[in-house]
Structure 1
Amino acid sequence: MMRLLILIGIAFIVAGALWPWLSRLPIGRLPGDILIRRENFTFYMPITTGILLSVLLSVILWLSRR
């Protein structure tokens, strides 16, 4: 458990260091994500992005347990 927490912390540090380049990826603006903009209101629901990240995380965890 301790090793997993350390790896997650390192992943957050790496993601934070690479954020200027990672923010240019189209994650969060995929087809299927709902974006509604009105005058004083913005609603964003990342359905496709959530599904994609869930599948990716599931595969990573499945591979790490093998």
Structure 2
Amino acid sequence: MTGAAKFVMIAGAAIFIIGFIMQFVNFGRLPGDIVIKKGNTTFYFPIVTSILASIILSAIFYFIGRLR
């Protein structure tokens, strides 16, 4: 198995696991996320959710890199 095939399989498994977990855990609307409602328009910017996802993904990729 080539390195690219192994990477695609691991990435697919990770996306599957994350998608499965997200069904049971509500990551949206964390404290610190920006929500602006004016009239019938809503602007939602998930800054804290984005930072949290970045930290988690960075840790996952760090550990995957250490396993190589």
Same fold (TM over 0.5): yes
| Closer, same or farther: CA 55–13 of 1 in aligned 2, 3 Å | closer
Gaps (5+ residues) in structure 1?
none
Could you list the per-position Cα deviations for residues 32-61 of structure 1 after superposition, in whole angstroms to 9, with x for gaps in the alignment?
100112222110001001001001100000
**What is the percentage of aligned positions where both structures have the same residue?**
39
**TM-score, normalised with respect to structure 1:** 0.74
Give the number of the structure whose alpha-carbon radius of gyration is greater: 2
| Aligned-residue RMSD, C-alpha | 1.9
Gaps (5+ residues) in structure 2?
none
**TM-score, normalised with respect to structure 2:** 0.72
CA distance in 2, matches of 1:52, 1:59: 11
